[in-house]
Chains A and B, each alone.
Chain A
Amino acid sequence: MLKHIRPLLPLVIFVFIAVFLWKGLRLAPAEVPSPLIGKPVPAFSLPSLFNLQQNYDQKIFNGEVSVFNVWSSTCSACAAEHDLLMDSVAHTQHIAFYGLDYRDDTEAAKAWLKHYGNPYHLVLADVSGDAAIDWGVYGTPETFIIDKHAHIRYRQIGAIDRDTWQHVLLPLIEQLQHEQ
C-alpha cells in the first residue's frame, strides 16, 4: 500500500504548494478592508472648498444615495480617474456626488478643479486630514458609496476605472436607489 502512495507524494506536495501560491497571487494586502462598511458615516464639520466660512456636517448624506470621492490636487491617480468622474459619475441620475479635498492647499485645489473641471455637487476641504482619519482614509483617491440613510456601503481604494464603475459601483448605486 505504501508503495502505491509514494510515487504520488511529489504530486500531492506540488498541488499543496500550488494552491497556496495561487491564493497568494489573488491577495491584495494593499487594499485594507474597511471596518466602516455598514456603519453610519462618521460625524464631521467641514467647510466648503469654495466658501471656507460655510460648514457642512454628516447630514448632507441623508435622503439620497451618495458618492463621496476623496482626492487631492497633488495626486496623479486622481487625475487619472477624473474623466470618468466628469462624464459618468456626475451624470448619474438621483445621486449626490461629494468630493473631499484631502490634505491639500485650497488654492491649488481650486485651480486644479478649474483646469480639469468640477464634477462635484459640493467639495469639502479637509486641510488637516483629521476628518479623513475618521473615514479610515489612508490615501487618495478613495471613493465611498453611501446609502439613503447615510450608512457607508462600499469603499473603493485607488482610482475608479470604467470596468469597476460599470460592473461594481453603478450596479450597487442602482440597488441602493431601490432600497427604502
Chain B
Amino acid sequence: MMSIATFFCLPTHVFAATDNYAFVSATQATRFQTLTSQLRCLVCQNQTLADSEAPLAADLRHQIYIKMQAGQTDAQIVAYLVARYGNFILYRPPFVPATLFLWLGPALFLLLAGGGLLFFIRINRKV
C-alpha cells in the first residue's frame, strides 16, 4: 500500500538533465519545466533546454532559475534569451516576416494540391 502511494508521488516527467533546484512552490516548478521545454538548446539543436545535458543548457537553466527567483515573468526571461540568441532559441517561432513562409506554407501547399486535384478531375471528365 505504502509503495503504491510512493509510486504515485514520483514525478511523471524525470529530467534528463540532473539539476537540483529548490522551488518555493509546485506552481513555480511547473513554470520552470514548461518554460525550459519551450526553449531550444543551442548546442544540441533538436533538444530543449529542459532535456539537454550540454553545459550551456545547464548554464541557461541556471540563469532562468535565478531570474525566476528574482520575480521575473516568463516574458521577461524569454526576452532576455532572445536578445542574446535570437528567435532561434524559441521552439515555437514567432509570426514575423522571416517566418511567413513557414507559417503560411502548409496552407499554400494545401491550396495548390486542392487546385491541382480539381484541375485533373475536370480534365479527366472532358477526355
Contact = CB atoms under 8 A, between A and B. Distances in A.
Interface residues of B, number: 15
Contact of A32 (B59, B60, B63, B85): B85
Interface string B65-83: 0000000000000000011
Contacts of A30: 45
Contact of B88 (A6, A32, A133, A139): A32
A133 B123 contact: no
B125 to A, nearest CB: 12
A136 B55 contact: no
A130 B123 CA distance: 65
Nearest to A128: B59
Interface in A107-166: 128-130, 133-136, 138-139
B56 A129 contact: yes
A103 B55 contact: yes
A136 B84 contact: yes
Contact of A133 (B82, B84, B86): B84
Contact of A138 (B42, B63, B83, B123): B42
B60 A33 contact: no
B43 interface: yes
A139 B55 CA distance: 10
- Which one of B56, B82, B123 has the greatest number of beta carbons of chain A within 10 Å? B56
Nearest to A35: B86
A34 interface: yes
Interface string A1-42: 010001000000000000000000000011011111000000
Given A35-B86, A138-B42, A138-B56, 13 more contacts: A34-B86, A35-B82, A36-B84, A103-B55, A128-B59, A129-B55, A133-B59, A133-B60, A133-B63, A133-B84, A136-B85, A138-B43, A139-B56
Q: When A and B form their complex, which 5 residue pairs have the shortest distance between CB atoms, in order from nearest? A: A138-B42, A136-B84, A35-B86, A32-B88, A129-B59
